[in-house]
Chain A
Amino acid sequence: MNNIFAKESKLRSWLRRKIKAAEKMNVFSWIVFAFLALLTLSFIIVYLWGFMTSFKSILEFDTIGNIVGLPEQWTFENFIFVFENFRVKLNGTTFYLEDMILNSLLYAVGCAFIQTAVQCIVAYLAAKFRFKFSSVIYWVVIITMTIPVVGTDISTIQMLQNIGLYDSMIGMFVLKFNFLGAYFLVFYATFRSLPDDYAGAAYVDGAGEFGILIHIILPMVANMFFTIFLLNLIMYWNDYRTPLLYIPNHPTLSNGIQWLSTSPTQEFSHTTVRITSCIIMVIPILIVFIIFKGRIMNKVSLGGIKE
């Protein structure tokens, strides 16, 4: 009985909220609503069409011509075909799906972790060890973000070639071992706002600098660190232009999809196969997103608010 009352009151409060929300809507908000609804609908249609197409057989899509509708017979043959045959040929070497997944994991996890860690540590040093060199570091980050120098990729490639790190994953990690970028400023602002009391107490108790960093400071920013790591991870997983420039013979999954979408190879020329490979590429990152949705979508702000 109590359960029924509880459910009823929940339903009432939900209805009240909805009515209140509807009351707040005015002409302006209805116009924006219409735009947003159309835009969202266009995204849904494209994603849904892609998802459905991956379950259509090549025969159904290409020969029978069922392009628009639901699959007449849902089939996994495209997925099986992609898992068994997806490969990229570069300079005489063949890279299979598992090679590309491994390269993607190495590239995305490695670069995301290295960059996040370096930015975090350097931001800590700049924020908490306030002497002249720390100010220099801070201003270097600001200036490099403000001045857009174009076309230095070719010089970076030459530099990597000179030290023998071009076209190697280690070289990629070395490139990402830098503290420049907006996330440095996010970490810097966080460290500046952290009180010195805990670290000070540990210092008085005889803790060393490394001990304070590992046991006190890093746990305090662990959430922030993980969120930025996730954002970097998604960015690097999806990035295909940078690997194409610096590790051209280590194709990631993104590179594979890019190669596939413009490749004239007959066996991969079917739209259903190409779309299926896109769906496969998206699945891991969608899982990460679904698990950490709240963390990713609620924690990003930049530039601040005027008081």
Chain B
Amino acid sequence: MEIIKKGKSLATFNRKRKIFYIALIALPVLQFCIFYLGVHINSILLAFKSYTLTDGQSGLYSYVFTGFENFGQVFHNFATENYLVNAIWNSVLAFLVGWIGFFGSLLFSYYIMKKWRFGKLFQLFLFLPSIISEIVVVSLFKYFTENNIPAFIEMIGGEAVSGFVYSSDLNVRLISLLVYSVWIGFGANILIFNGTMSGVSESVLEAAKLDGVRPLREFFSIVLPMMYPTIVTLAVVNVANIFTNQMYLFSFYGASAERKLYTIGYYLYLNTQEAGNSGLSEYPYLAAFGLVVSAVTIPLTIGFRKVMNKIGERFE
């Protein structure tokens, strides 16, 4: 049958099949060309342009190519604006803290896989934040820590506290955000880890059990190596998101987070949202900023994947 022959060019298919194939694939490919290739090419071009408003009434802009001026502005801002340098550190901090949730969810998935006590119940509650809107979970957490915890501390005779998420001490705010990230992060990958762990062969686990392998060793020496491809995939996603991670800032504070708490992801999102509502003049700077960040993220992600694959070869 024609369907299963490999490596054919379109010319060798009969006419009806050609029409069918082209009819179905044309629009998605066109969409890809415009909204992926086109957008990326436009993003690069934007980074080298500068827009000026020529007619305020009709909102007409004219542009000129300005070479590396926007990139210069990006590096100038990094050199002079403390909060941007801080944003890098906050992004890295959020990234590092994210691993606690990552490894926690691996461990908890193993517990659920082993069908130990209340495993299904734990799975349900860990997964719930993934189906409830982030803004709702953040709001509940925020109101709980701002209202309930101080009231409870006072009720049991403790010293009055003024809340955490809106504390006047920015370090307390930062710690609250990180605590929230860890709290919510435990359930983030639980479904995928559970799904993959359920594919670990029973016979392998049984054989290990007969050889006297205990659960801790089974987890580290059998289960983790067997689901290594999944771990790598999700770990790479973590690395790729290092500078898009907003540390839930927008959900907690909207557009008014303190600058000292900024992450690169929040800075980019906030400025993109504001620029979208105003005019073209900010577009080139943001495009250049995105390219600079990508220039760091892409090699970092590719390098990380390579290292992880090298480590994976040991398990072959």
Specify which chain B residues have a CB less than 8 angstroms from the CB of A221 in the assembled complex: none
With A155-B287, A159-B38, A302-B192 known as contacts, the answer to whether A257 contacts B136 (CB < 8 A) is: yes
Q: Is the CB of A36 within 8 A of B122?
A: yes
* Residues of A contacting B40 in the complex (Cβ-Cβ under 8 angstroms): 149, 152, 155
Mark the stretch among B17-25, B80-88, B170-178 that contacts chain A: B17-25
Q: Is A138 an interface residue (CB 8 A)?
A: no
Set of chain A residues within 8 Å of B273, measured between Cβ atoms: 244-245, 248
Nearest CB of B to A206, in Å: 11
Q: Is B307 interfacial (CB-CB < 8 Å)? A: no
Known A-B contacts A43-B128, A50-B144, A121-B24; the reply to A196 vs B1 at CB < 8 A is yes
Per-residue CB contact flags for chain A residues 147-184 toward chain B (1 = under 8 Å, else 0) read 11111111111110000001000000011011110000
Q: In the complex, what residue of chain A is closest to B233 when comparing beta carbons? A: A303
In the complex, which residues 238-254 of chain A have their Cβ closer than 8 Å to any Cβ of chain B? Answer: 238, 240-241, 244-246, 248, 254
Main secondary structure of the interface of B (DSSP, over half): helix
Q: Does B181 contact A (CB under 8 A)?
A: no
Q: Give A77 to B5 CA distance when docked, in angstroms.
A: 67
> CA separation between A159 and B46, bound complex, in Å?
11
Name the contact of B111 in the complex, choosing from A29, A177, A246, A304 (C-beta under 8 A): A29
C-alpha spacing A29/B219, complex, angstroms: 11
Asked if B148 and A257 make an inter-chain contact with CB atoms under 8 angstroms apart, the answer reads no
Within 8 A of B (CB), among A8-61: 21-22, 24-26, 28-29, 32-33, 35-37, 39-40, 42-47, 49-50, 53
In the assembled complex, which residues on chain A have CB atoms less than 8 Å from the CB atom of B27? 177
Given A33-B117, A131-B8, A131-B9, A148-B35 contact (CB < 8 Å): no
Report chain A residues within 8 Å CB of B121: 40
**Complex formed: what's the CA distance from A256 to B132 in Å?**
15
Interface of A is mostly: helix
Q: Which of A149, A154, A297, A303 is in CB contact (< 8 Å) with B276?
A: A154
Q: Which residue of A lies closest to B129 (CB)?
A: A43
Cα A259 to Cα B1 with chains together (Å): 57
Known A-B contacts A24-B116, A40-B126, A151-B291; the reply to A261 vs B135 at CB < 8 A is yes
| Nearest A-chain residue to B11, judged by Cβ | A131
Query: With A130-B6, A257-B136 known to touch, is A157 a contact of B276 (CB < 8 Å)?
Result: yes
Q: Which residues of B contact A240 (CB under 8 A)?
A: 133-135
A234 with B131, Cβ < 8 A, contacts A150-B243, A156-B35 known: yes
Is residue A301 contacting chain B, with contact meaning CB distance below 8 A?
Answer: yes
Do A146 and B132 have beta carbons less than 8 Å apart? Answer: no
Interface pair B283/A154, CB less than 8 Å apart: yes
Measured between beta carbons, the chain A residues less than 8 angstroms from B231 are 303
A and B contact pairs by CB, cutoff 8 A, 25 listed? A28-B214, A32-B107, A39-B183, A40-B126, A43-B125, A46-B141, A130-B4, A132-B10, A149-B290, A152-B290, A154-B286, A155-B39, A166-B276, A174-B35, A178-B28, A179-B32, A180-B36, A254-B135, A262-B253, A262-B256, A278-B140, A281-B136, A299-B195, A301-B192, A301-B198
